[in-house]
Structure 1
Amino acid sequence: MSSVPAARAWAHGLLAVRLAPTALDDVLLLLSEVVTNAVTHSDSGRTAGGRVTVHLTYGPEAVHVEVTDDGSATSTPAVHVPDADADGGRGLWLVDLLATAWGSSRHDDEAGRSVWFQVAG
């Protein structure tokens, strides 16, 4: 899954000189989780030509990250308490734990959905 390292490298290049190391680590971890979810649980990863788009905004108070995918008819973003022995299932749980705010929305005028989060800058 080349999308995750590409998104991390892009965000790191934009934010490394602007954020404290701990905030940068949180942004990169959460970005990795949300992009992984977009590829794994949406039509973006299940259909040829599927797309995942990352928008990042840096402000004096916070970094805002929004990941948009092609949506899914079979799943919606939800926080689940992870099983301690499970290999996965921690993505949105980590977002809920580390982000100062987060949410998701469906795009009514087109196919797709977005998951966004903010981390204090």
Structure 2
Amino acid sequence: MRPDGRAVRSRVWRREFPGRASSVPAARAWARDLLAVRLAPGVLDDVLLLLSEVVTNAVTHSDSGHTAGGRVTVHLSHGSEGVHVEVTDDGSATSAPAVHVPRTDDDGGRGMWLVALLATTWGASGNDDEAGRSVWFEMLRDPSPGP
């Protein structure tokens, strides 16, 4: 609901991917096909970049990418305000999503830093040692500055 009491209409999609590196470009292509006509090109580029980073993290750092049959599920919702992306994985008893400020010579470790930098808002939820976890982010439809 909006502050004025009107309902916000949104489209919602869900797709499950194997916990493999090949799921990163597959998730990106799927999201691009759904959102290309709904988002401005710059916003779409940012959403796809962040989706790629979060799916990569799910495959690399959770049990989804380290156990047979591991899965990563992507939820997308698009409404008048923008887009909400949530990536659910099988969790991990040894790692949790965290923002690290990368050094210029680091080969990796920029995923959550980019999410924190570019997303309007983001968060993580779930019990990492039991039923999995979710990392989500939101992007406004039109990130143009105000007056």
TM over 0.5: yes
The Cα shift of 1:111 comes to: 1.2
- 1:16 corresponds in structure 2 to 36
TM-score, normalization: structure 2?
Answer: 0.80
Following the alignment from structure 2 to structure 1, what is the Cα–Cα distance between the partners of residues 103 and 87? 25
2:74 aligns with one of 45, 49, 54: 54
2:63 aligns with one of 39, 43, 46: 43
Alignment RMSD (CA, Å): 1.1
Q: Which structure has the highest helix share of the two?
A: 1
Q: Which runs of 4+ in 1 moved over 2 A?
A: none
Structure 2 unaligned blocks of 5 or more: 1-20, 142-147
Following the alignment from structure 1 to structure 2, what is the Cα–Cα distance between the partners of residues 36 and 50? 13
The Cα shift of 1:36 comes to: 0.1
Following the alignment from structure 1 to structure 2, what is the Cα–Cα distance between the partners of residues 54 and 107? 18
- 1:66 corresponds in structure 2 to 86
2:117 aligns with one of 97, 108, 118: 97
What is the SS of the residue equivalent to 2:44? helix
Please say which structure displays the higher CA radius of gyration: 2
Identity across aligned pairs (percent)?
A: 80
2:135 aligns with one of 112, 115, 119: 115
Following the alignment from structure 1 to structure 2, what is the Cα–Cα distance between the partners of residues 92 and 74? 17
Structure 1 unaligned blocks of 5 or more: none
Q: Which structure has the highest strand share of the two?
A: 2
2:72 maps to amino acid: V
Following the alignment from structure 1 to structure 2, what is the Cα–Cα distance between the partners of residues 46 and 2? 14
